[in-house]
Amino acid sequence: MSLALVSLFARRVATPGALVLIAFAAWLTSDATSAWWFSIAIIALIATVRAAALPDAWLRGEGDWIGTAPRPRAALLRAAWIGAALGTLVLAAAATAAIALKGAWIESETEALLEPSSIGGPKRSLVLMPGESFEQSFGSDEGWGREVRVRATATLGATAPTTLALVEAGNAAHRINVARRTWLSIHLEPYASSVRVTNVGEGALAILGPFPVEVWAPSSALLRGHVRVWAHASCFLVALVSLALLLGIVMGPGVAALLACSLWLGTWLLVSPAEFGTLGDWLPGGGSLGRALDAIHVGRSPLPPSMKSLASAGALLVATWLLGSPLLRTWRDEVRG
Amino acid sequence: MHSTSVSVHQLFRSFRTGLWLSQKTEALTNVSMEVPAGATLGLVGPNGSGKSTLLRLLAGVDRPTSGSIRLFGEPPTEVSVKQRLSFLPDGQPFPPELKAVDALHLIASLKGLTRADRRTRVPAMLERVGLGARGGTRLGAFSRGMHRRFGLGQAFIAEPDIVLLDEPTAGLDAPGFDVLNDVLQEARQREATVILASHVASDLVDHCTRLALLAGGRLLREGTPDELLGEAGTVELRVRGRDSAALETALRGAAEDAGGEVLTVRSARRSLIDLYASTKTPGATDDEGDKR
């Protein structure tokens, strides 16, 4: 594999103009979560179109010198895929740097950052009538600074009675008035290993599934979790760009980029409904990216991407690369040229 | 070692074009030819005659609809064949965002030259094609003629056994023609097989040992330049003397005595290349005015 060729393709995806645009947009956006959403959308747009334009350039004439190189076609295609992926990672890194720098510049936060250490509970929502309790156990830990939270909401009756929840964990307890969808949270003492929620009000209380109980522990994530969001975003973007590159072999770059995004969106709509729980996590850019951005939104660190998310992105990259070789029958397309 | 370096047998290439690919265009129809090793073949013909398509098929970047191509007995898509082949495509397909020196390093590395070889050959080749001072310029800023020079440089950097040149003279200025002459002479000395295509036959005739005339995708005629372009019973003389009027009178008389008829008489002219070489200023090696 030629590193120079990989570098050329990476430069075509991560052009200086695109880097400046992404850094500028990330810097200008009001908060970190919005900056991430905005950056991911811009990178997806730029990188997919540019990746899909790589084979288009080959078929319009560039293949005349690439195709005569004494290298197997699969090796040349692999260079293109790796180059496009590298360029995408660089674009996402530019966004990460801009967002993290802006955060450090404005907020200068010093409090400990939390990250999810376990997520559990029932898959389906359940309703607690006055006097009823819900209890969920989780792993104990000797450290300080942990927090548990339970997703809940008030269920409105005809008279809209007051809903009051008593949250207990270890020796700690406190009451929370529930008027809408909210997190019932409480700090955990060392060795606390369960949380109990009791409906002590007059109205019904719903514990919202799937997996409503989250335990958060102090995090040592780099750049207040932004590096982990970069990993989530990169996993999604590399998969999308890989698909666009494959489609670019058989259609124009604009249509290929649009179709790649549409295919991803269709898959996301299929696997994202709540009843599937974390089933959609295998989809790069699916539920796990959403949770990562939610975590950033509440000033916490997300978990790194799951192995299944990384594996599916890698599998998509390899599959599209393997399919690309037979699809690219020639290095020249007279119909396009 | 094959005595025939290029063998083409009953080659057809057609394209589907138009709305819903409903129209069929025959780019090449039943082309067969053999090119001996060390020969220089000129493909001539009008625009759209199939010259570029034939060269792309020989270079292995396109596939024939039917028929076979063998270079040194192997299909052109084989890596072992590509190691011995170079192609100068028509147009300006080289990466415009790269500097000339970087682009030549890239292509040389793809052709398998070691880093040590590239360090010596790349600057030397840029000098040879007259781009030594332009190595740091992006290819996107090159004029058409400079692109051709770069193309010649990349085609000859790995000392290939088969060189395919598509419109090598397009946009070349007089010093550019010198570059072309130089690299072709070097190829002949190495006994490399060269196939050139041009729609201007006069650009090629001096370089070629054989000519092939293509039109409408068909190979109409093939032979030596004298066989195809010579006029039977007609000779041209270039004679130098002190008094051109006396020379003309003497030659007319000699021609009539031999039963011949004088068709044209004119004073001999230098070529534009000779004129340029005798008047150019030092360092004027590029063709800045020839920007596309």
**pLDDT tens per residue, range A210-261:** 888 888 877 776 777 788 889 989 999 999 999 999 999 999 899 999 999 9
Confidence of residue A120 (pLDDT cuts 50, 70, 90): confident
CB contact under 8 A, B15 and A71: no
Please tell me which of the candidates A8, A64, A72 has its beta carbon nearest to residue B98: A8
Domain of B164, CATH number, reads 3.40.50.300
Interface test with B, best of A6, A64, A325 (most B CBs within 10 A): A64
| Better pLDDT: A104 or A127 | A127
CB contact under 8 A, B95 and A62: yes
CB contact under 8 A, A330 and B93: no
Out of A159-163, B168-172, B234-238, which region has the weakest mean confidence (pLDDT)? A159-163
Q: Would you say how long chain A is, in residues?
A: 337
Of A147-161, A222-236, A319-333, B180-194, which has the strongest mean pLDDT? B180-194
Average pLDDT rounded to a whole number, residues A190-216? 85
Q: Which chain B residues contact residue A80 at CB under 8 A?
A: none
ipTM summary value: 0.82
Is pLDDT of B204 > 80?
no
Number of domains in chain B: 1
CB contact under 8 A, B111 and A69: yes
Q: Which chain A residues contact residue B97 at CB under 8 A?
A: 8, 11-12
CB contact under 8 A, B89 and A65: yes
Please tell me which of the candidates A2, A329, A335 has its beta carbon nearest to residue B16: A335
Interface test with B, best of A65, A327, A328 (most B CBs within 10 A): A65
Confidence of residue B39 (pLDDT cuts 50, 70, 90): very high
Q: Which residue on chain A is closest to B65 by alpha carbon?
A: A330
Is pLDDT of B286 > 70?
no
Average pLDDT rounded to a whole number, residues B41-60? 92
Interface test with B, best of A334, A335, A336 (most B CBs within 10 A): A334
What pLDDT score does A49 carry? Answer: 95
**A107 contact partners, CB below 8 Å, separation of at least 6:** none
φ, ψ for residue A155, nearest 5 deg: -100, 120
Please tell me which of the candidates B56, B89, B106 has its beta carbon nearest to residue A8: B106
What is the C-alpha separation between B150 and A314, in angstroms, rounded?
39
φ, ψ for residue A271, nearest 5 deg: -105, -5
What is the C-alpha separation between A62 and B268, in angstroms, rounded?
44
Average pLDDT rounded to a whole number, residues A163-188? 83
φ, ψ for residue A192, nearest 5 deg: -65, 135
Residue B47 exposure: Cα atoms within 13 Å on the Cβ side:
1
Interface test with A, best of B56, B63, B77, B80 (most A CBs within 10 A): B56
Structure tokens at B195: 């196939």
Averaged pLDDT of chain B:
87
**How much of chain A exceeds pLDDT 70, in percent?**
91
Q: Which residue on chain A is closest to B81 by alpha carbon?
A: A70
User: Does B101 reach chain A within 8 Å, measured CB to CB?
Assistant: no
Interface test with A, best of B106, B162, B166 (most A CBs within 10 A): B106
Confidence of residue A105 (pLDDT cuts 50, 70, 90): low
Is pLDDT of B285 > 60?
no
Is pLDDT of B287 > 70?
no
- Closest CA of chain B from A303, distance in Å: 39
What is the C-alpha separation between A294 and A304, in angstroms, rounded?
14
What pLDDT score does A275 carry? Answer: 52
Asked whether residue B269 is domain-assigned, the answer is: no
- Closest CA of chain B from A52, distance in Å: 17
Edge-to-edge strands of the sheet including A194-199? Answer: A133-137, A194-199, A163-169, A172-178
| Better pLDDT: B14 or A163 | B14
Structure tokens at A271: 């696997």
Asked whether residue B263 is domain-assigned, the answer is: no
φ, ψ for residue B99, nearest 5 deg: -70, 155
Give, in order, the Cα–Cα distances in Å from B248 to each of A184, B237, B265. Answer: 113, 11, 8
HEC string of chain A? CCHHHHHHHHHHHCCHHHHHHHHHHHHHCCCHHHHHHHHHHHHHHHHHHHHHHHHHHHHHHHHHHHCCCCCCHHHHHHHHHHHHHHHHHHHHHHHHHHHHHHHHHHCCCCCCCEEEEEEECCCCCEEECCCCEEEEECCCCCCCCCEEEEEEEEECCCCCCCEEEEEEECCEEEEEEECCCEEEEEECCCCCCEEEEEECCCCEEEECCCCCEEEEEECCCHHHHHHHHHHHHHHHHHHHHHHHHHHHHHCCHHHHHHHHHHHHHHHHHHHCCHHHHHHHHHCCCCHHHHHHHHHHHCCCCCCCCCHHHHHHHHHHHHHHHHHHHHHCCCCCCCCCC
Average pLDDT rounded to a whole number, residues A49-63? 93
Is pLDDT of B171 > 50?
yes
Residues from A contacting B (CB-CB < 8 Å) are: 2, 4-5, 8, 11-12, 60-72, 329-332, 334-335
Q: Are A64 and B87 in contact (CB under 8 A)?
A: yes
Say whether B289 sits in a helix, a strand or coil: helix
Asked whether residue B277 is domain-assigned, the answer is: no
Give, in order, the Cα–Cα distances in Å from A160 to each of A152, A153, A163, A204. Answer: 16, 13, 9, 10
Q: Is the dihedral of CA A34, A37, A39, A45 positive or negative?
A: negative
CB contact under 8 A, A62 and B83: no
**B142 contact partners, CB below 8 Å, separation of at least 6:** B92, B100, B134, B150
- Closest CA of chain A from B286, distance in Å: 24
Nearest-5° angle of CA B247, CA B249, CA B255? 100
What pLDDT score does A155 carry? Answer: 80
For B279, other C-beta atoms within 10 Å of its C-beta total 8
| Better pLDDT: A299 or A152 | A152
Give A271-318 pLDDT, tens digit per residue.
Answer: 776 555 555 678 888 778 888 888 777 777 787 888 888 898 899 888
Confidence of residue A337 (pLDDT cuts 50, 70, 90): very low
CB contact under 8 A, B87 and A64: yes
**A129 contact partners, CB below 8 Å, separation of at least 6:** A199, A204
Residue A299 exposure: Cα atoms within 13 Å on the Cβ side:
8
Say whether B119 sits in a helix, a strand or coil: helix
Confidence of residue B292 (pLDDT cuts 50, 70, 90): very low
CB contact under 8 A, A335 and B27: no
What is the C-alpha separation between B95 and A135, in angstroms, rounded?
64
Instruction: Provide the pairing of β-strand A213-218 with A147-155.
Output: antiparallel
Structure tokens at A313: 């992105």
Residue with token string 């090119």: B35
Nearest-5° angle of CA A130, CA A136, CA A137? 150
- Closest CA of chain B from A216, distance in Å: 49
Provide the residue range defining the domain that includes B109: 4-233
Asked whether residue B175 is domain-assigned, the answer is: yes
Minimal CA–CA distance to B132: which of B153, B113, B110, B148? B153
Asked whether residue B262 is domain-assigned, the answer is: no
Q: Are A5 and A79 in contact (CB under 8 A)?
A: yes
Is pLDDT of A145 > 80?
no
What part of B 53-92 touches A (C-beta under 8 Å)?
53, 56, 59-63, 79-80, 82-83, 85-87, 89, 91
Quick one: DSSP state of residue B62?
A: S
- Closest CA of chain A from B285, distance in Å: 26
What pLDDT score does A46 carry? Answer: 94
Confidence of residue A111 (pLDDT cuts 50, 70, 90): low
Asked whether residue B271 is domain-assigned, the answer is: no
Minimal CA–CA distance to B171: which of B162, B180, B160? B180
Give B76-100 pLDDT, tens digit per residue.
Answer: 999 999 999 999 998 889 999 999 9
Q: Which chain A residues contact residue B98 at CB under 8 A?
A: 8
Amino acid letter, B196: L
Q: Which residue on chain A is closest to B104 by alpha carbon?
A: A4
**B181 contact partners, CB below 8 Å, separation of at least 6:** B207
Is pLDDT of B248 > 90?
no
Q: Which chain B residues contact residue A330 at CB under 8 A?
A: 61-63
What pLDDT score does B20 carry? Answer: 74
What is the C-alpha separation between B19 and B26, in angstroms, rounded?
17
CB contact under 8 A, A68 and B27: no
Amino acid letter, B14: S
